[in-house]
Chains A and B, each alone.
Chain A
């Protein structure tokens, strides 16, 4: 049944076959006797074009290309979590066992462990009529996550036989389904899904619940909704990867899919090491138990880099279908766009802006639109949130990838070089960043945190904006000439920047902060602002306020008040009151 055709030409990762072939567009193929994985990306009556996901050196014209008849797909079954894959879902630890420390070509390994026996609880019974997406079995995949195996979205029919609960591999038949046309299908814990096709859903919901990240600048100033999309653009060294790591570690998503797309090998090693040791504060289990890594580092083949983004999102959609909230970290989407450009160049397509292919925008939008808060086919609700890092060339946000991404995401966390140079982390700039979700989410914040949350947030942002206006003047004539109320604004803004926006990822308390503490910090700063304004309005200069080191104390609240002793905030209120009283007494 295997169709085979002869290679005609080779140019980097692109292989050509002359003449008409029977291959389909997007079909997965095996190239040469080494069985290198490839995909058909162009068909004309003269020439078939194939991109190969592995190194092509040593290939010769005349070698055979074998068709598989199906589009490039991923295997979906228990065993995905707590694992690390390359761009086409080959487990890297298996590859290591096969080929040693370095990745050889044509390594053939199963995506998931087919020998492992899973304790399976079957949730359907004989005679049930089930439709696409119905959950047929539950498996405790990791300590944190129950894996719910479903029938493929395209299937429906009557269950004619069911196995008992017990230990099964992912390829064992656990039930038999009689389709409406009378044919019988054996059901296993596994299903396959083509990576470039979004998994079907029942309904999309508007975003109304935030994805809590524990990062103050994100949660309070520029929140992302569950099912939302965000971009983190920034030049090198501004902390894109660090921000992604922080969100992956501390966000309240159930599942994290971390795609290292064309990035550094050491970074993936770090995630792997760190996440295996770190404990998820919500479940008490290692973070790797809810995480899957897709690592296609910059020195791995470029075509697989292009595929890795799709592999990641398909895995995410699969877990969403089980009713989980999934967050994808794509680091970095620019590398993916560059992979598109590189392949497009090899295909000698007409380049558009900056050499990127003209279809860059449509590919980006198709990717980001796979995010959302959905009702699944089986009635459960789940979400896929996408947080994509963008590496703009030269840190210039006007380049095509950033600009096109901006059109399709609703949250923009712009990293700033000057903040990074001053080691203000996270270097997300409050003036260039925005979140369109704030209005959608304000109701949630006001009911789930406290009624004044959004109000406080707006006041904080207003002070920061005021500061930037004043800084324009200060840059020209120095801060000494400003009136005292404006000097106070600068002081309060400084407290906000140092004490609130800056967050130390390496400090055990400060790395992840609950919303209650974020709110209390805001309230304390705003209360200080009120009391100080009161003093200033009586004509007392700001320099008097600075004589006591109260401001420094407020700044170090983030370290001094642990996340579980929020009652200490009352002491600070008292402190501010005393401060107010002392000064009033002295200057009255």
Chain B
């Protein structure tokens, strides 16, 4: 371990090769000392053939030459220092503090790669998280331990939505339980990072936030480690310290781009759109680290944000993500153009875990039926609109006209609730009923007869609480 190797045999982008190494292990971390300690960098061994190791340099290989670098093996994989003191701290992409408060007094150190969670040890997530946002609470309910990404595009308010979810859900009803937010930024713009920092401070949550920031101009390789470090911290806080953790990962697209960049400099065979064949496995090892472990009181809930290149949901990154995560919240440019916030397009949005976390005992017995009916009716709005654009709105049948009216009300009142409104689930469901009253009763074919009898008449016309003033107290 004490052996230092002088010089390198090859430098190619962020990858360097070292020959004549003894006892190097796959995935081991190495330390570089450049120009006699003038600069220090770390790297990871990503390939070994005999005595030749290919090393990925996290901070980028600038300033390294074939002769001025000393390399030392550390004998362990990438690790992160853990302790409850990390709450409220800010780190760079590989877990080094950058807030000037000095290093962490580590309780323990852990391998950032984590280990796969045994499906037998998982607890099926059932507790719903109230976000106060109708489109999410009613139609794509967020469940504790879920991974629910936001599919967005450039210029859409995904950051604002993520911040709102974090603020309203964590400061919601169950303040007696310990919560914390782990925020991992991969290649984000400085103002985005600042926006989050500011929002957390304003809401008084920053004491409970751990931030990992890899900015857009930080080394690319570093951001491949950022989410792993963040999730290791999240797992530690959740399963060792019993806290409920919300992990925000932004932007997954940049992360995947970084993977492609490194893969191509390694000379690997590309698969779809030049991304490496292991893109799915890599994304899965991140997303699957959400969950609840049997016997532990904490949980890890993930809200990854990704910007769909050219708003294309079939692009490999959103596509593979959708296959791994338990649903998705899709933002829509059209709704955003109408200045509706949050511009959630509910039709492609989905929460796979909601069916077991809603209904009697969780939210309200009519939740599933109302959600199904809203989805189904709103899908018909699309047909009516398509028809109206061909034959004109005046020519539509009375029922289709009602659908248009419903569609407008649904978008402006139900979805576009505005950034400062925090609705209870009762308000949300009652509003759903109110909107359904705009349609002829016989069009409501997804609602069970019993539920219909129980709620249809009492929910006519009015909503139980006035939601215009954006009541933050329940």
Which A residues form the contact surface with B (CB < 8 A)? Answer: 8-12, 16, 18, 55-62, 84, 92-93, 95-96, 99-104, 235-237, 260, 262, 264-266, 268-270, 272-273, 295, 297-302, 335, 338, 341-342, 344-346, 348-349, 351, 354-356, 391, 393-396, 417-418, 421-424, 474-480, 498, 506, 549, 552, 555-556, 559
Contact = CB atoms under 8 A, between A and B. Distances in A.
A269 B390 contact: no
B25 to A, nearest CB: 5
A483 to B, nearest CB: 16
A424 B446 CA distance: 10
A17 B171 CA distance: 56
Contacts of B113: 55, 57
Interface of B: 23-28, 46-51, 77, 113-125, 145, 239, 268-272, 276-278, 280-281, 284-285, 287-289, 291, 293-296, 313-316, 319-320, 322-324, 326-328, 347-348, 350, 352-353, 355-356, 368, 372, 375-376, 379-380, 386-387, 390-391, 395-397, 400, 442, 445-446, 448-449
B169 to A, nearest CB: 20
Contacts of A9: 47-50
A391 B116 contact: no
Nearest to A236: B322
Nearest to B121: A101
A299 B289 contact: yes
A77 B119 CA distance: 23
Given A9-B48, A478-B397, A268 B119 contact: yes
Nearest to A237: B350
A478 B387 contact: yes
Contact of B277 (A18, A260, A341): A341
Contact of B121 (A12, A96, A394, A424): A96
Contact of A335 (B49, B280, B355): B280
Most buried by A among B121, B355, B396: B121
Nearest to A421: B347
Nearest to B125: A266
Contacts of B396: 478
Given A10-B47, A480-B397, A354 B391 contact: no
Given A59-B26, A338-B277, A476-B390, A498 B272 contact: no
23 contacts: A8-B50, A56-B26, A60-B25, A61-B50, A95-B118, A101-B118, A102-B118, A237-B327, A237-B348, A262-B284, A266-B291, A266-B353, A298-B324, A299-B281, A299-B285, A302-B278, A344-B269, A345-B276, A346-B277, A393-B316, A394-B315, A394-B319, A477-B391
Nearest to B379: A422
B387 A475 contact: yes
B155 to A, nearest CB: 23
B390 to A, nearest CB: 6
B119 to A, nearest CB: 4
A244 to B, nearest CB: 14
Nearest to B27: A57
A555 B443 CA distance: 12
B348 A421 contact: yes
B270 A272 contact: no
A226 to B, nearest CB: 29
Nearest to B120: A92
B130 to A, nearest CB: 21
Contacts of A341: 271, 277
A556 B446 CA distance: 10
Given A272-B119, A344-B277, 6 more contacts: A10-B26, A11-B46, A61-B48, A61-B51, A262-B284, A422-B379
B277 A299 contact: no
Contacts of A269: 119-120, 122-124
Most buried by B among A11, A59, A351: A11
Contacts of A297: 116, 119, 284, 288
A265 B117 CA distance: 8
A549 B442 contact: yes
A356 B356 CA distance: 37
Nearest to A270: B124
Most buried by B among A8, A12, A272, A348: A12
Contacts of B295: 101
Nearest to A104: B115
Contact of A58 (B28, B285, B352): B28
The 10 closest A-B pairs by CB, nearest first: A394-B314, A355-B271, A57-B27, A298-B284, A422-B379, A236-B322, A299-B288, A9-B49, A345-B277, A102-B115
Contact of A61 (B24, B272, B379): B24
Given A9-B48, A92-B119, A423 B284 contact: no
Contact of A355 (B277, B319, B368, B397): B277
A57 B119 contact: no
Contacts of A237: 322, 327-328, 348, 350, 352
Contacts of A56: 26-27
A11 B47 contact: yes
Given A96-B120, A345-B278, A476-B390, A354 B272 contact: yes
B48 A299 contact: no
Nearest to A62: B23
Given A58-B26, A298-B324, A477 B390 contact: yes
B141 to A, nearest CB: 14
B329 to A, nearest CB: 12
A144 B449 CA distance: 37
A583 B356 CA distance: 46
B121 A84 contact: no
A393 B272 contact: yes
A14 B445 CA distance: 55
A98 to B, nearest CB: 10
Nearest to B75: A58
B356 to A, nearest CB: 8
B280 A345 contact: no
Contact of B375 (A272, A346, A395, A421): A421
Contacts of A552: 442, 445
A348 B124 contact: no
A156 B291 CA distance: 51
Given A101-B294, A266-B353, A299 B445 contact: no
Contacts of A356: 271
Contacts of A55: 113, 115
Contact of A266 (B122, B269, B350, B446): B122
A99 B118 CA distance: 10
Most buried by A among B25, B122, B276, B326: B122
A478 B50 contact: no
A102 B271 contact: no
Contact of B117 (A101, A272, A344, A418): A101
Contacts of A96: 118, 120-121
Contacts of B347: 421-422
B269 A351 contact: yes
Nearest to A14: B47
Given A60-B24, A237-B348, A101 B125 contact: no
B354 to A, nearest CB: 12
A559 B449 CA distance: 9
A299 B284 contact: yes
B324 A264 contact: yes
A507 to B, nearest CB: 8
A396 B348 contact: no
B43 to A, nearest CB: 15
A536 to B, nearest CB: 18
A236 B386 contact: no
Contacts of B348: 237, 417, 421
Given A297-B288, A298-B288, A423 B117 contact: no
A84 B368 CA distance: 31
B322 A475 contact: no
Contacts of A92: 118-120
Contacts of A10: 26, 47-48
Given A93-B120, A478-B396, A262 B280 contact: yes
Given A57-B26, A272-B120, A302-B281, A393 B319 contact: yes
